[in-house]
A = this chain, B = another copy of it.
Amino acid sequence: MKVVITGGAGFLGRRLARGLLQRGTLSDAEGRDKPIEQLVLVDVAPPADLIDARVQPVVGDISQRSLLAGVIDRRATSIFHLAAIVSGMAEADFDLGMRINVDATRSLLELCREHGQRPRVVFTSSVAVYGGGLPATVREETALTPQTSYGTQKAIGELLLNDYSRRGFVDGRALRLPTISVRPGRPNAAASSFASGIIREPINGEPAICPVDRDARLWLMSPATVVGCLIAAHELPSDALGANRSLNLPGISVTVGEMVDSLTRLAGADVAARIQWERDPKIARMVSGWPGACDASRATSLGFPHDESFDDVVRQYMADDRTG
């Protein structure tokens, strides 16, 4: 079977690719385990650290239809659509966000429709689809009122995926990803970048800036658990999600203060002291519009994995990814 990951050279795409290569198989449309013969990783850069005969890197811009058309063919029966312009960048460059987050998503779905194979499409949406005056716990029945262009674009992607699924063009599954923490590597243009930076940089011996207050509440998930959820979403039978193919994932709800407490407990007060508190009103406003907790009972009842605590998340980073 041929599997495609867009954004396949990104942090999450590479982890997912490694997870799939280790696993070796995925369900086909009839629920039978099939070996992954080809894993196409589409991104603006090649996936540097993935050496495997099954991996085929495709480098280019997914907003160019010809690039996607060369990848989304009749044999591509499983597609993980992760490529996106992140929140901060989509807010800074509206047109770029629309082109990648909306237009490329639509092109991808159109190519699936043209080929008529009804592939499984796992789409990474975000809790940024929620916003405004939210209840303390957001439910799947809560209206999507995004307060950022990124959230708007992801909500449009969800609507398209649902309608393309309803019409039988694809077999879609949209996951509303919590903020991912702790991401390894460098800060990125996401407004949520600090949610990894305030743990990662201090552990690696570097200073970090925290642009929000201690009582800011986040809905988080560790990288390993996100990868587990992406695979679990793919493996669901077609009818498991019914008419609503958008799913809240089981994150953990913590304040920034609690995150720093975990860091202090596990790495020491001197490490946590590397955090500088410099409030950025723009980031604080975007973050305050995101939900601090979501009802993910549907995903939980479908068997999706979850993190046990933020202490566990910090331990996972210290064991697997620390560079300092």
Contact = CB atoms under 8 A, between A and B. Distances in A.
Interface string A153-184: 00110011011001100000000000000000
A163 B152 contact: yes
How many monomers of this protein are in the complex?
2
A149 interface: yes
A167 B97 CA distance: 14
Given A152-B159, A159-B152, A159-B155, A141 B144 contact: no
A300 interface: no
Given A132-B243, A243-B132, A146 B159 contact: yes
Contacts of A162: 145-146, 152
A147 B244 CA distance: 9
A94 interface: yes
B132 A146 contact: no
A179 to B, nearest CB: 21
A163 B147 CA distance: 8
Nearest to A243: B132
A299 to B, nearest CB: 16
Interface residues of A, number: 24
Given A152-B159, A159-B152, A163-B152, A144 B143 contact: yes
Contacts of A156: 156, 159-160
Contacts of A163: 146, 149, 152
A243 B167 CA distance: 32
Given A156-B156, A163-B152, A243-B132, A143 B146 contact: no
Interface of A: 94, 131-133, 140-147, 149, 152, 155-156, 159-160, 162-163, 166-167, 243-244
Given A132-B244, A159-B159, 14 more contacts: A131-B243, A132-B243, A140-B143, A141-B142, A143-B143, A143-B144, A145-B162, A145-B244, A146-B163, A147-B243, A149-B167, A152-B162, A152-B163, A156-B156
15 contacts: A94-B167, A132-B244, A141-B142, A142-B143, A143-B143, A143-B144, A144-B144, A145-B243, A145-B244, A146-B159, A149-B167, A152-B160, A152-B163, A156-B156, A156-B159
**CB-based closest 10 A-B pairs:** A152-B163, A132-B243, A152-B159, A141-B143, A143-B143, A156-B156, A145-B244, A155-B159, A149-B163, A156-B159
